[in-house]
């Protein structure tokens, strides 16, 4: 399934049905009078966040959505039928934006959230509404009111608890594939990941969170360079960031500053998110080289740096536990600590 996180669509609500001009004509009924009914209500256009979707690909092949018109009024004071509404189903995290791409209409950040985008036109009055003691045989009616129409943008910002960021080929996809059931594409060339990948990380019955592998960022990404700039929006909703840096490169400190600069240039509040920094591909270097790279990186970022290997699983669990703490606010015990605690409290 292809990933699509932005699209432009046209919506139009239904016109209201016209009122009816009719008179009662029955045998042996004198002065029947007007009996024209009102028109029905035009269909509304709604948008709703539903479960089970993570892309806007459904709106790639159909961009026009028009609600039906309300039924016209009929004789014998019969009102026209109300038209059915149209409901656009989108994944949670979708934002609805005006055609100017700046004005926010709605933010569907929860499953089940529902917003009215275009209201259907009201039905017109039949001639029964206009009868009076002065005008007992009115031939007047009202046409139904027109519906609303507009172009809007749908923009998806994935709802993930943790965003994995870094330069191309930093080991983000490998890390996600090793800690979750996700199967992102992995290769030894830059920009292997072209779209964000989601994975559910399960650390126990009560500790589970979603991580998003963001395509690699390069210098100038906040201004539109490379691939990752399109997906920086998906980092905005994350509660914590995992910044992965390739330990085999010459200047890990420059890589860290480059990515941090692009995040801050895109949105200043991204700098305030909790961040875990880790050197990846630890199995490719000797201990002395890893310690040297770690010391250089800690000096640049001013926070502890983890040395991990996604392939062998070295030091991966402590990183996941720290991420889970930032997401849930509760400390997650290591498996070995939990086993020791349970054995100490057990008695035959």
CA distances for 68 relative to 43, 45, 50, 155, 180, angstroms: 6, 10, 23, 26, 45
CATH topology of domain 162-344: Rossmann fold (3.40.50)
- Answer left, alpha or beta for residue 288, where phi above 0 means left and psi between -120 and 50 means alpha: alpha
Residue 318 has pLDDT above 80, yes or no: yes
pLDDT of residue 198: 82
pLDDT of residue 330: 77
> From CA 129, how far away is CA 174, in angstroms rounded?
71
Which residue did the predictor score with more confidence, 238 or 190? 238
> From CA 260, how far away is CA 256, in angstroms rounded?
6
Q: Please, where are the H alpha helices in the chain?
A: 172-179, 252-266, 287-301, 316-328, 335-344
Residue 28 has pLDDT above 60, yes or no: yes
| pLDDT mean over 141-147 | 97
Comparing 28-42, 165-179, 215-229, the range with the smallest average pLDDT is: 215-229
Range(s) for CATH 3.40.50.300 in the chain? 162-344
Percent of the chain with pLDDT over 90: 51
**173 φ/ψ angles, rounded to the nearest 5 degrees:** -65, -40
pLDDT of residue 183: 82
* Contact by Cβ (8 Å): 7, 154: yes
C-alpha torsion sign, points 132, 133, 135, 137:
positive
Confidence at 224, pLDDT banded by 50, 70, 90: low
> 1-156 has which CATH code?
2.70.210.12
Range(s) for CATH 2.70.210.12 in the chain? 1-156
pLDDT of residue 205: 76
pLDDT of residue 345: 45
| pLDDT mean over 98-114 | 93
pLDDT of residue 127: 96
Confidence at 182, pLDDT banded by 50, 70, 90: confident
Q: Which strands form 64-66's sheet, in the order they lie side by side?
A: 64-66, 6-12, 149-156, 94-98, 104-108
pLDDT of residue 338: 40
pLDDT of residue 144: 97
Average pLDDT in the chain? 86
CA distances for 199 relative to 58, 168, 180, 273, 329, angstroms: 22, 19, 6, 20, 20
């Amino acid at each position: 399934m292809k990933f699509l996180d932005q699209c432009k669509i046209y919506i139009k609500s239904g016109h209201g049905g016209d009122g009816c001009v009719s008179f009662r004509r029955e045998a042996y009924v004198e002065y029947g009078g007007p009996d024209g009914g009102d028109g029905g209500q035009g269909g509304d256009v709604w948008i709703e966040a539903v479960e089970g979707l993570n892309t806007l690909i459904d709106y790639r092949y159909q961009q026009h959505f028009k609600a039906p018109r309300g039924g016209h009024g009929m004789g014998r004071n019969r009102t026209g039928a109300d038209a059915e509404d149209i409901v656009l189903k989108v994944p949670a995290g979708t934002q609805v934006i005006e055609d100017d791409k700046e004005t926010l209409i709605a933010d569907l950040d929860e499953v089940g959230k529902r917003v009215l985008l275009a209201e259907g036109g009201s039905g017109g009055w039949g001639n029964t509404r206009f009868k009076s003691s002065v005008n007992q045989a009115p031939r007047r009616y009202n046409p139904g009111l027109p519906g609303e129409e507009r172009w809007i943008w749908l923009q998806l910002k994935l709802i993930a608890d943790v965003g994995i960021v870094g330069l191309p080929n930093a080991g983000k996809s490998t890390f996600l594939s090793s800690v979750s059931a996700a199967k992102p594409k992995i290769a030894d060339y830059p920009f292997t990941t072209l779209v964000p990948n989601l994975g559910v990380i399960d650390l126990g019955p009560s500790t589970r969170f979603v991580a998003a592998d963001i395509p690699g960022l390069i210098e100038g990404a906040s201004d539109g360079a490379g691939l990752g700039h399109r997906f920086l929006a998906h980092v905005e909703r994350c509660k914590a960031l995992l910044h992965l840096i390739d330990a085999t490169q010459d200047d890990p400190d420059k890589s860290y500053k480059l990515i941090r600069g692009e995040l801050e240039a895109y949105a200043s509040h991204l700098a305030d998110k909790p961040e875990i920094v880790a050197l990846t591909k630890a199995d490719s270097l000797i201990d002395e080289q890893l310690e040297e790279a770690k010391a250089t990186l800690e000096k640049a970022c001013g926070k502890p740096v983890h040395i991990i290997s996604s392939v062998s699983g070295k030091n991966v669990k402590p990183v996941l536990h720290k991420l889970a703490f930032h997401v849930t606010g509760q400390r997650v015990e290591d498996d070995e600590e939990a086993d020791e605690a349970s054995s100490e409290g057990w008695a035959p």
